[in-house]
Structure 1
């Protein structure tokens, strides 16, 4: 299980901040625990129990009744991040670790609870995005400007979402019009040549609601490969440009029927270093598109249904080195729910069609192109009465290439007191082999699905603004697909094989509270993501998985001071290894970020952001520098027409 990031010779860097990481973890651990017990005046906090989420069960459910490990991020959280992509926002969330080959436009991987980046489902307004050539969705191509809300579900979720949901699910919701016409404008600039612009209009007119948004962001970047010990490379800055837009139209035909159309398009043009040729501008062009149409109906107080059809596209190209791959994913879904007493029955019919265009598909019936489809049927039961809650979900997926897969989830929750709740769940999950892994020059038609078996138990406390959460989990992933040695396939260089096994176990501690006007929140992850492939002579048994740490966490504090809202955040990670044999060490780090908002007027706000405030040098992928100190100054103007 490795990141999709490319590996190149390791350069010489400035001294890293690994010495500060243990201090950061001690601070995070103590404050996460003490914050949850602070007795103080109320104030806003994350994950309010009044929120309604849909990702956990594919039906609306109050956050306080969800039996999964869930986080909800709002537009306020997104605006505090201010710059970058979705990955920059998620890296501070419980269970998430980010690996990146340089700046915000570079190849990016996200590990959830130690699971590989390909083991997290990414959804935009109900439409899944994925690549059949690489390790899952393109995190770098999902822009912050179009996002209104993010729902995160951790743990095995294939019984609800099908293939890929071994580590979790991330669903992105774009903006929606729900009131009188509103115009939002944002502009700003920073160092490294950063410039950002965005504009949105949303509103409600009769039965029609609408939201249209466009945005652009670009940066000159920094030298992502400061290979000071290699005279063949000419140091240069690796910048990026992002252009994106989203559209959401809805028609509330009557109280029971709603039609909706959503669409998102994002284009990233990023520079990177691939060759030692002087004055060579290596570029990656990444495009992500998602389009979905849906019909929601309430036939009576007990019966609801939702039908949708959608298509997504992931396109990746490199220049001047010629490489092009394009994945199109089309999906059809019909799901419904029926309430019976204290329970609810959910049912699902779903079809997914994948098509990959890639010149390396030499073994496909149509060289350069491969296709497959998955048909699925699923059912679930949600029940709650008094302090006890139960959820059962089962699903069967039939893949046209590798066959069938059955998955299930069982969860139970008990409200011990009004403040304390105990949760526990068991679940299975899978990821189907990609079309590239089966039909490329290095493909293997005998590949079977990767499989995960997850068990977890959680304890949650909530009283007013005070919250505490503890989740302990263990996820055993079998039949992991790796690129193996020759001998089992047609290529003399090797091929993809189902040979590895991983054990992902750990605990996550979260806390939130307020001390006077000071709001505190944080998380601490202690984990052991290890390779446990039990094969005679296998050298990496018991080794940490590549680029995953044993501990990582974050701590945030913010307060209101007159017209100012001031915030500070620390994100820390322990030591990791850059290789499967655990011989190439990457030092731990602790990063300080500062942000502030100032109300210049009723509809005008000043934004200030300082990332990596202490200018720490660190690496998440060997041979690649991470962003230095970055500052951003912006204005946001929102007005009702």
Structure 2
């Protein structure tokens, strides 16, 4: 039962948050530059809603926060967020596995402007190869969202939104450098004319990297990226948009290196059919390629997707219906696998009855590899008053085995089953003018989860039934010139049959950020920490917990000019989140930014 997972600390936290809320009522003084505490969220329902109205556990990271943190990699933004855990094979371009609510890394759905981006061979998304300079906003939605986004949205969905042009012409240029012989350069030109918008961005990131394995040398990383984002709005209200994003370079591993490319091409058309009916068609093609230079081993995934959705309003109620088709094609030197197609139809209803809201979802998928799957979900919310909202939800989801799971030589298993999950969640959120807090408890069952392990004697992919329970807390406050954020996660993720802890998931993690605004700049600090985690399923070996500190400052030293300095891992903490792979030590970085027009 869901009540069994609530530890005493959770009750105490609720009381503490309530006391802080009462204090915040007497101190709702926000600055003009305050970060938004009640941002709009798109990913939770596919249409814009305020966070309290989504009936989901969500985290939004705005462009202002991304800039303030001076993040070099997406992992810096995601690490220790509520319900999120990251295992990294080192730093600077090395593979990141993102676990949400204890589900597998392949069960985290990643969208780039609504376009699914993943490797059909490994199943994971290339988070490490998406430059933070190309991210305008991040939305993290925890819990199953298969009814909207299909397979792999088991633990949750992360969506990165690319920047779009504003109404005025704008040029932004930045150059930087620092520890590990790191060099960065980015330039973005955007503008609008006659209802057309354009944005062109180019960037480069190069570093010698740090030592990621004991006794080995530094492991570098190179990335060159480009984004072209175009749009035009017609007098009728119709809009057409297109984008091309390309990220490529070379990654140095111990004893080897590989060339990689991540490419996204998208075309979208939205039309207001009637006053209360909008329709949208989105076509996309993604490519995720990696080639090992010494052996010539190649992993090349191409995915083509077409998604048609319709949004219909009836008074305060909203309905979304649509269909989606996709095809995965791979080219791999180590094995052969057939193309995989998926067709789906989905529907969503959002009912607003004043203080009470209700969300119903259903989706039917047919996959050429594993047949039919029906997923559904229900969520309800109730506004206790103008500030507090309680919510409850239940949802199903599924994850198809990856091509590596099925066909990798001597370790894949073509008989593996698809993961099927059920998740129950209870939550409460409070929204003040200058503060919010959110608390959620969840109970999830992941049937036939695919895990790679050698606990039966040979390294291979296995189906295991797992049980995951957790508590997530988040809060943010803006007072005078201070902006504070905090997050905490408690997680119990086990193999039901053996009782072993699922590997690479920390049982507790926390994150705290504080920023002080000044007339011509700001200074801040971020603390992130996690307890130990199992190395592999069935092993008694655990990795040591850690706490890291990042500090930063920026100064507007002249008109249109800004200088930024950051110190990553300021205490030079030596730690691992994957066995045998060290994360980078202390690094100091300086960036100059110029804006024109």
Instruction: State the TM-score, normalized to the length of structure 2.
Output: 0.93
The structure 2 residue matched to 1:631, chosen from 576, 580, 588, is 588
Instruction: Give me the whole-angstrom Cα distance separating, in 2, the residues matched to 1:621 and 1:48.
Output: 34
Instruction: Give me the whole-angstrom Cα distance separating, in 1, the residues matched to 2:200 and 2:539.
Output: 48
CA contact (8 A) 2:63 2:135 kept: yes
Counterpart residue number, 1:513: 477
Instruction: Give me the whole-angstrom Cα distance separating, in 2, the residues matched to 1:520 and 1:500.
Output: 40
Counterpart residue number, 1:414: 382
Cα deviation for residue 346 of structure 1 reads 0.8
Instruction: Give me the whole-angstrom Cα distance separating, in 2, the residues matched to 1:636 and 1:101.
Output: 31
1:395 equivalenced with 2:363 (yes/no) = yes
Instruction: Give me the whole-angstrom Cα distance separating, in 2, the residues matched to 1:111 and 1:339.
Output: 35
Cα deviation for residue 571 of structure 1 reads 0.4
CA contact (8 A) 2:104 2:450 kept: no
Instruction: Give me the whole-angstrom Cα distance separating, in 2, the residues matched to 1:576 and 1:510.
Output: 22
1:382 equivalenced with 2:370 (yes/no) = no
Instruction: Give me the whole-angstrom Cα distance separating, in 1, the residues matched to 2:369 and 2:359.
Output: 31
1:359 equivalenced with 2:328 (yes/no) = no
1:349 equivalenced with 2:323 (yes/no) = yes
Counterpart residue number, 2:558: 601
Instruction: Give me the whole-angstrom Cα distance separating, in 2, the residues matched to 1:209 and 1:193.
Output: 37
Cα deviation for residue 387 of structure 1 reads 0.9
CA contact (8 A) 1:32 1:523 kept: no
Cα deviation for residue 255 of structure 1 reads 4.0
CA contact (8 A) 2:138 2:159 kept: yes
1:528 equivalenced with 2:498 (yes/no) = no
Matches within 5 A, 1:185-334: 185-227=173-215, 235-274=216-255, 282-334=256-308
The structure 2 residue matched to 1:479, chosen from 427, 440, 448, is 448
Matches within 5 A, 1:435-446: 435-441=403-409, 442-446=411-415
Q: Deviations over 1:306-328 (max 9, x none)?
A: 00111001111222133211110
Counterpart residue number, 1:538: none
Shift in CA distance, 297/620, structure 1 to aligned 2, threshold 3 Å: same
1:373 equivalenced with 2:362 (yes/no) = no
Matches within 5 A, 1:99-178: 99-178=87-166
Counterpart residue number, 1:75: 63
Shift in CA distance, 33/550, structure 1 to aligned 2, threshold 3 Å: farther
CA contact (8 A) 1:606 1:633 kept: yes
CA contact (8 A) 1:32 1:512 kept: no
Q: Deviations over 1:344-394 (max 9, x none)?
A: 111011001011111222xxxxxx352010000011111112111111010
Q: Deviations over 1:542-592 (max 9, x none)?
A: 221112111101111111233231111110111112122242121111111
The structure 2 residue matched to 1:468, chosen from 432, 437, 442, is 437
Counterpart residue number, 2:530: 573
Instruction: Give me the whole-angstrom Cα distance separating, in 2, the residues matched to 1:598 and 1:67.
Output: 39
Cα deviation for residue 251 of structure 1 reads 0.9
Instruction: Give me the whole-angstrom Cα distance separating, in 1, the residues matched to 2:146 and 2:36.
Output: 24
Cα deviation for residue 517 of structure 1 reads 2.5
Cα deviation for residue 30 of structure 1 reads 11
Range moving further from structure 2, 265-274 or 171-180: 265-274
Counterpart residue number, 1:457: 426
Instruction: Give me the whole-angstrom Cα distance separating, in 2, the residues matched to 1:85 and 1:255.
Output: 40
Shift in CA distance, 267/352, structure 1 to aligned 2, threshold 3 Å: same
Tell me the secondary structure at the aligned position of residue 222 of structure 1.
Answer: coil
The structure 2 residue matched to 1:338, chosen from 276, 292, 312, is 312
Cα deviation for residue 172 of structure 1 reads 1.1
Cα deviation for residue 634 of structure 1 reads 0.7
Counterpart residue number, 1:96: 84
Counterpart residue number, 2:505: 548
Tell me the secondary structure at the aligned position of residue 221 of structure 1.
Answer: coil
Tell me the secondary structure at the aligned position of residue 437 of structure 1.
Answer: helix
Instruction: Give me the whole-angstrom Cα distance separating, in 1, the residues matched to 2:80 and 2:416.
Output: 35
Cα deviation for residue 341 of structure 1 reads 2.2
Counterpart residue number, 1:48: 37
Instruction: Give me the whole-angstrom Cα distance separating, in 1, the residues matched to 2:299 and 2:76.
Output: 25
Cα deviation for residue 31 of structure 1 reads 9.2
Q: Deviations over 1:277-307 (max 9, x none)?
A: xxxxx11222111111010111122101100
CA contact (8 A) 1:470 1:508 kept: yes
1:424 equivalenced with 2:387 (yes/no) = no
Instruction: Give me the whole-angstrom Cα distance separating, in 1, the residues matched to 2:489 and 2:36.
Output: 18
1:564 equivalenced with 2:521 (yes/no) = yes
Shift in CA distance, 502/563, structure 1 to aligned 2, threshold 3 Å: same
CA contact (8 A) 2:52 2:389 kept: no
Instruction: Give me the whole-angstrom Cα distance separating, in 1, the residues matched to 2:261 and 2:14.
Output: 40
Instruction: Give me the whole-angstrom Cα distance separating, in 1, the residues matched to 2:189 and 2:116.
Output: 25
Range moving further from structure 2, 35-44 or 620-629: 35-44
Matches within 5 A, 1:54-69: 54-69=42-57
The structure 2 residue matched to 1:620, chosen from 573, 577, 586, is 577
Cα deviation for residue 83 of structure 1 reads 4.2
Q: Deviations over 1:113-147 (max 9, x none)?
A: 22221111111112111111113211211111111
Shift in CA distance, 32/135, structure 1 to aligned 2, threshold 3 Å: farther
Matches within 5 A, 1:491-510: 496-497=461-462, 499-510=463-474
Shift in CA distance, 460/485, structure 1 to aligned 2, threshold 3 Å: closer
Instruction: Give me the whole-angstrom Cα distance separating, in 2, the residues matched to 1:305 and 1:80.
Output: 37
Cα deviation for residue 444 of structure 1 reads 3.5
Number of aligned residues: 581
Cα deviation for residue 60 of structure 1 reads 2.7
Cα deviation for residue 432 of structure 1 reads 1.2
Runs of at least 5 residues in structure 1 that lack an aligned partner in the other structure: 1-24, 228-234, 275-281, 362-367, 535-540
Instruction: Give me the whole-angstrom Cα distance separating, in 2, the residues matched to 1:530 and 1:47.
Output: 37
Instruction: Give me the whole-angstrom Cα distance separating, in 2, the residues matched to 1:484 and 1:99.
Output: 16
CA contact (8 A) 1:370 1:439 kept: no
